[in-house]
Amino acid sequence: MSRILENKKVLVTGGAGFIGSNLCEKLLTQNNHVVCLDNFATGKRENIAPFLSHENFTLIEGDIRNINDCTKAVDGVEVVLHQAALGSVPRSIKDPITSNEVNVSGFLNVLIAARDNGVKRIIYAASSSTYGDSTNLPKVEDVIGKPLSPYAITKYVNELYADVFAKLYDMQIIGLRYFNVFGRRQDPDGAYAAVIPKFVKSLINHESPTVNGDGTYSRDFTYIDNVVQANELAATTDKLNAINTVYNVAFGERTTLNELIGYLQRYLSDFDAEIANVEIKHGPERAGDIPHSLASIAKAEERLGYQPKYNIKSGLKEAIGWYWENLK
């Protein structure tokens, strides 16, 4: 399915972040006017630097916790792609208050601003963390467990608010439960960096990456272009049974951390043969982590026409050149 979002005014909250900046980039190639709202708490100015001179790109430096910033950002907008959030399970465990302020109160502000300014279609970043302690594999959208972290609670509350707003205010709201997204512009630094860029940077520096646990935990790693595709399909669908619901956004395969390390060493060795010999260290399991994650993408395939192009291997092959150039 190649349905794309074009010729619209689109707000991307968190547009300077990893996923948001990739959405901005794609949308600008399709004759959209893109408004980026970001406070640069986790977003990077360099992610959007190439767009600042584009005639169809508008940057609003603001915070979703401020309703006035949200109201300014939605002015004249037809579609909202809401990516702004404080991610990371460990960060939410350390500081649940800020995670709640951004992810819950901020989300509510975006919904209110959209409602009051006549914006009907909102696509928001949900999370696979919502599945919590459910041991069912693969994960299907209507079977979830109890949340295992404050972050997971915030993302589930997003889904509850979205459902209520859709019903009460005649809005079209779609949640995308992302599964371990990776790719270009993903930040390897900081205490809460995602695992793939963190591992890559360690390997490039000939340092031993630390795997939490014995490496048998598995994830459904999802390349960024699959996520961009899902956002566009959700933003443009006109099927009644496709709106006001949530979808898994993944590839539908799981990879253990040990397998992931093996792929990274193999592909990075094309640039530096010594990387194949870097020792891998194992540390304690991380609090709040679920052992295994695997998505069923049948619902997104059927209702949205979602057809992810990149599995873990092809996605890493696409990303590895960017990692090498930008993380070394």
Token readout for 209 is: 């990456």
151 is catalytic: yes
**For residue 206, how many other CB atoms are within 10 A of its CB?**
12
> CA quadruple 140, 144, 149, 151: dihedral positive or negative?
positive
- Could you tell me if 306 and 222 are in contact, meaning their C-beta atoms sit under 8 angstroms apart? no
pLDDT per residue over 172-212, tens digit each? Answer: 999 999 999 999 999 888 666 789 999 999 999 999 988 98
Choosing from 124, 151, 156, 323, the catalytic residue is: 151
Residue 286, pLDDT > 90, answer no
Domains plus CATH for the chain? 9-185+224-252+295-311 (3.40.50.720)
- Count of residues for the chain? 328
How far apart, in Å, are the Cα atoms of 39 and each of 32, 42, 111, 149, 166?
Answer: 22, 8, 18, 24, 27
The rounded distance, in Å, linking the Cα atoms of 272 and 209 is: 16
Task: Name 134's Cβ contacts closer than 8 Å, sequence gap at least 6.
Answer: 143, 144, 145
Residue 57, pLDDT > 70, answer yes
The rounded distance, in Å, linking the Cα atoms of 12 and 122 is: 10
pLDDT per residue over 68-98, tens digit each? Answer: 999 999 999 999 999 999 988 889 999 999 9
The rounded distance, in Å, linking the Cα atoms of 177 and 299 is: 12
Residue 65, pLDDT > 60, answer yes
This prediction's pTM: 0.95
Residue 1, pLDDT > 60, answer no
